[in-house]
Chain A
Amino acid sequence: MEPLISQAKTMHHSLIEIRRAIHRYPEIGFQEHRTSQLIRTILQSYGVEILPLNKETGVVGIIEGKQPGKVVALRADIDALPVQEENDVSYQSQTPGVMHACGHDAHIACLLGAARLLVQRRNELKGTVKLLFQPAEELFGGAQSLIDQGVLAAPKVDVIFGLHTKPDIPVGKIAFKSGPLMAAVDVIRITVQGKGGHGAMPHTTLDPIVAAAAIIQGAQTIVSRQVNPLDAVVISFGSIHGGEANNVIPEKVEIWGTVRTFCPQLRSGMPERLRSMVTHIAAAMNTEVDMMYRHDLPAVINPENLQKFCRQSLEKVVGAEGLVAAFPCMGGEDFAIYQQQTPGVYFWLGTGSQSIGMDLQWHHPKFDIDEGALPYGAAALSQLTLDYLQDFAD
């Protein structure tokens, strides 16, 4: 049989067409109605059965192999971002203020390509493939929503694969690593409560702005002084708001931030580290704090025991020279939610090229991909599926 990558390359034009059709009409998380409809239409044209869902956005297709076996899930996220596109291209977003600036349009095209390739090989398939077109990744709610609708059960999923476009990796390459790949995402909100009053009489007030400034700096010492320098951790504050007038010391100041970690033990200790730092600094300045610490997403961690399998399978698509080491990144991905339930592997699909510019990161208004990557993505997802059902057959 012809290698999957060769077959995928013959589908290149239709993959580009799909990706551009999606790119033109981006939709925000949980509002992907048009996108979902397009996905259903294409899947049905391939002869893929669609499973019913309770929610209106998101699509799950199922391909039954000719022979019984394990169940592989493939996941693509389908939502766009509240970003105004600045690319002057024929397939530019037609929706003002909304854009596929994170490559999810490409993820959809790759997964549809994989579906088409797997349908063509149904006779070889030893098991079942579930195609998860997941809404609302950017809102961190989509994976949980699909899981709550039972997509990992009946038949129970044995492994899940997913990919993300990566602009700093050249097209034709795939980056993979076992272990931590993307960070756990936590959200913090700190309200510093002081006592407001006239700016000219600071001694009659308890100044929450000075306390908040000290807290923001103190928090950085958790990273530099408390955590093992070999462990990665980020504490970033994204907003601070306190006061209205120049001469009125406000009652309170609100700070929002994010904490990123890989190591689960380190992560579980972060709320207490922050709470201790924040409450003691506040107390030293006679102010009080209310701290909210929310665990939004666990880290994306690829299992060690699938490392060898993945390397061998992915090398069939991009060759030994095309499979490069992935560097972990502190961004978050709700693919991690699936990995909490079932073994799963996430990898980067190289979409960068000199002509596109490899420095424009995710969420940039001029983010774009080299569409030459699409066949590699489709081939990688279908190759992993085919090989897994073969290698791990009972």
Chain B
Amino acid sequence: MKKDVKQLVQEQHEAVVALRRYFHMYPELSTQEFNTQKRIMAELTALGLKPRPIANTGVIAELEGAKQGPTLAIRADIDALPIQDECEQSYQSQNHGVCHACGHDGHIAMLLGVAKVLTEMKEELAGNVRFLFQPTEEKFPGGALSLIAEGALDGVDMIIGAHLWQPVPIDAIGIAYGRMMAAPDEFAITVKGRGGHGSMPHQTVSALLVAAQIATALSSVTSLSVDPLEAAVLSIGSFHSGEVFNIIPDTAVMKGTVRSFEQQVRLKVFERIEQITKGICEAAGATYSVDKIFGFPPVINDLAITKTFAEVGAEVLGNQGVTQIQPSMGGEDFSYFQEKVPGAFIFVGIGNPEKGIVYPHHHPKFDMDEKALANGVEVMARTALKLLS
């Protein structure tokens, strides 16, 4: 059986790479994955499965094993990001300003590859496999909730998922027992000052300058207000104010993200955002609003399933191919599934400096070593077979 999986994976590797490149060329933003959905449906139908749409732009399909057993869900997220692709490859994004800069193109291709392998090996399966192609992972409140609301987990006993991961090198997987990914929250700060001509600053309250002061003060929240043994991140991702060089703007808007693992830490950071913004605005004579958007829960892995991943990983990639990673500050709405059923998430390494695969997730030049797709398909397929044996 061992040889068979590897062989199947190798035979279809080129097809999986082609699929990944197709999705990379035609990325679609969260909630708009219509073409992506269509292609996934077509591929699954070609395998003899009966896929159906779910959560508007997602896809669900069930593979029945030859023998009785539990139901395992395998999930891939399918949306892209509002980033201009600068990968400079033949498969560069054809959709202006939209890019698979987080590897979800590979996630779709891998899960289609896993579906193909498991379909061909369904005689070995003691239980069912449910394939979940989930839209809108990058945008709150996240597509996982919609899937769950539409019954995607009904009858499911456990769930697994993988993320292609740049910080993990190629030919390795990253696993974590327990805490794996942070709760990603958002905030938006709007500062209102008093606009006016740039030559008469004394008649104005520059929202731009006040916001800059807030940005600087916020950059010490995680260094000063959070227990140094706890982990937290506060990043500002966008800062916009004003139109022309010589008019002092009356409004500035900054949007950012907060990452944490503990509710207490989370609340503390948001309390500081509010206090700092309030204090600086009052001092400057400006007014403000802080919008807080609480995102996904943290990804906390089931120990037993994680152990299965570790064993399979060692079989496929050798002992040195399985790394216990530090928890990531990235967020994942895979956590919503884990709140309902035992589940584990892994990282599949794609980093390869020799091939220039050095750019972090969400970077315009983000790319992957596509050999990772074969590794991912094999690890996921074998883990599924093992969990359903």
Chain A contact residues, CB within 8 Å of chain B: 183, 185, 187-189, 195-202, 204-205, 207, 209-210, 212-214, 216-217, 220, 234, 236-251, 253, 256-258, 260, 329-332, 361-363
Q: Taking the nearest CB of chain A, how far is it from the CB of B346, in angstroms? A: 18
B363 lies within 8 A of chain A by Cβ: yes
Shortest Cβ distance from B331 into A: residue = A200
Q: How far is the CB of A254 from chain B (nearest CB, A)?
A: 10
CA distance A161 to B230 in the complex (A): 70
Task: Give the complex CA separation of A214 and B233 in angstroms.
Answer: 19
B349 within 8 A of A: no
B199 proximity list for chain A (CB < 8 A): 183, 185, 234, 236, 258, 260, 329-332
What are 15 A-to-B residue pairs whose CB atoms are below 8 Å? A196-B360, A196-B363, A197-B363, A198-B330, A200-B233, A201-B329, A213-B215, A216-B208, A238-B198, A240-B239, A242-B238, A243-B240, A249-B237, A329-B200, A361-B197
Q: Is the beta-carbon distance between B361 and A198 smaller than 8 angstroms?
A: yes
Q: Is the CB of B235 within 8 A of A240?
A: no
A205 to B236, CA, bound (A): 12
In the assembled complex, how far is the CB of residue B353 from the closest CB belonging to chain A, in whole angstroms?
14
Cβ of B248 and Cβ of A245 under 8 Å apart? no
Q: CB-CB < 8 A to A257: which residues of B?
A: 198, 245
Type the 1/0 row for B219-262, where 1 means its CB is closer than 8 Å to any CB of A.
Answer: 10000000000000101111111111111110010111101000
- Given contacts A200-B233, A200-B330, A248-B362, whether A239 and B243 have CB atoms under 8 Å apart is yes
Residues of A near B136 (CB, < 8 A) are none
A196 touches B364 (CB 8 A): yes
| Whole-angstrom CA separation of A248 from B213 in the bound complex | 21
Instruction: Give which listed residue, B188, B213, B215, contacts A209 with CB less than 8 A.
Output: B215
Whether B239 pairs with A200 at a CB distance below 8 angstroms is no
CA distance A328 to B248 in the complex (A): 20
Name which residue of chain A comes closest to B97, CB basis.
A244
Assuming the contacts A196-B364, A200-B184, asked whether A237 and B242 have C-beta atoms less than 8 A apart, the reply is: yes
B interface residues, Cβ below 8 angstroms from A: 81-83, 167, 182, 184, 186-188, 197-201, 206, 208-209, 211-213, 215-216, 219, 233, 235-249, 252, 254-257, 259, 328-331, 359-364
CB atoms of B208 and A240 under 8 A apart: yes
Chain B residues whose CB sits within 8 angstroms of the CB of A185 once the complex forms: 199, 246
Q: Which of chain A's residues have a CB closer than 8 A to the CB of B211?
A: 213
Since A187-B245, A209-B215, A247-B186 are in contact, a sample of 10 more A-B pairs with Cβ atoms closer than 8 Å, ordered by chain A residue number, is A198-B362, A201-B328, A205-B360, A237-B242, A238-B249, A240-B240, A242-B238, A247-B235, A253-B239, A258-B246
> In the docked arrangement, what's the CA distance between A240 and B213, Å?
13
Q: Which residues of A contact B246 (CB under 8 A)?
A: 185, 187, 236, 238, 258
Contact A248 B245 (CB under 8 A): no
Of residues A212, A236, A244, A253, which shows the largest number of chain B Cβ atoms within 10 Å of its Cβ?
A: A236
Do residues B235 and A207 form an inter-chain contact, with CB atoms below 8 A?
Answer: yes
CB distance from B27 to the nearest CB of A (A): 14
Chain B residues contacting A207 (CB-CB under 8 Å) are 235-236
**Which of B83, B235, B240, B359 lies in contact with A241, CB distance below 8 A?**
B240
CB contacts (< 8 Å) of A250 on chain B: these are 237-238
- Asked if B245 contacts A210 (CB within 8 A), the reply is no
Quote the shortest CB–CB distance from B33 to chain A (angstroms): 17
User: Please, which residues of chain A bring their CB within 8 A of the CB of B208?
Assistant: 216, 237-240
Please name all residues of chain B whose beta carbon is closer than 8 Å to the beta carbon of A234 when the two chains form the complex: 198-199, 201
Nearest residue, chain A, Cβ from B243: A239
Q: How far is the CB of B174 from chain A (nearest CB, A)?
A: 14
Residue of B186, B233, B245 near A258 (CB, 8 A) is B245
Query: Is B364 touching A210 in the complex (CB atoms < 8 A)?
Result: no
> Given A220-B209, A247-B235 in contact, is the A256-B257 Cβ separation under 8 Å?
no
Write out the residue numbers on chain A whose beta carbons fall within 8 Å of the beta carbon of B184.
Answer: 200, 247
A residues within 8 A CB of B240? 240-243
In the bound complex, CA of A366 to CA of B329 (Å): 52
Note all chain B residues with C-beta closer than 8 A to A258: 198-199, 245-246
Residue contact A331 to B197, C-beta cutoff 8 Å: yes
Pick from B206, B212, B238: contact of A246, CB below 8 A.
B238
CA distance A246 to B362 in the complex (A): 12
Closest 8 CB pairs of A and B: A243-B238, A239-B242, A330-B199, A236-B198, A213-B215, A199-B235, A197-B360, A200-B329
Choose among B244, B247, B257, B364 the residue that contacts A199 (Cβ–Cβ < 8 A).
B257
Q: What's the nearest-Cβ distance from chain A to residue B191, in Å? A: 12
With A243-B238, A246-B256, A250-B237 already in contact, the answer to whether A204 and B248 are too (CB < 8 A) is no
* C-alpha spacing A363/B246, complex, angstroms: 13
Q: How far is the CB of A192 from chain B (nearest CB, A)?
A: 11
Q: A201-B329, A243-B238 are in contact. Are A248 and B83 (CB under 8 A)?
A: yes
Q: With a CB–CB cut-off of 8 A, which chain A residues contact B238?
A: 209, 242-246, 250
| In-complex Cβ contact of A196 among B187, B198, B331, B362 (8 A) | B362
Q: Which residues of A contact B216 (CB under 8 A)?
A: 210, 213-214, 217
Q: How far is the CA of A337 from the CA of B209 in the complex (A)?
A: 32
On whether the beta carbons of B236 and A210 are closer than 8 Å, the reply is yes
Return B342 CB to nearest CB of chain A, in Å.
Answer: 25
State the CA gap A210–B239 with chains docked (Å): 10
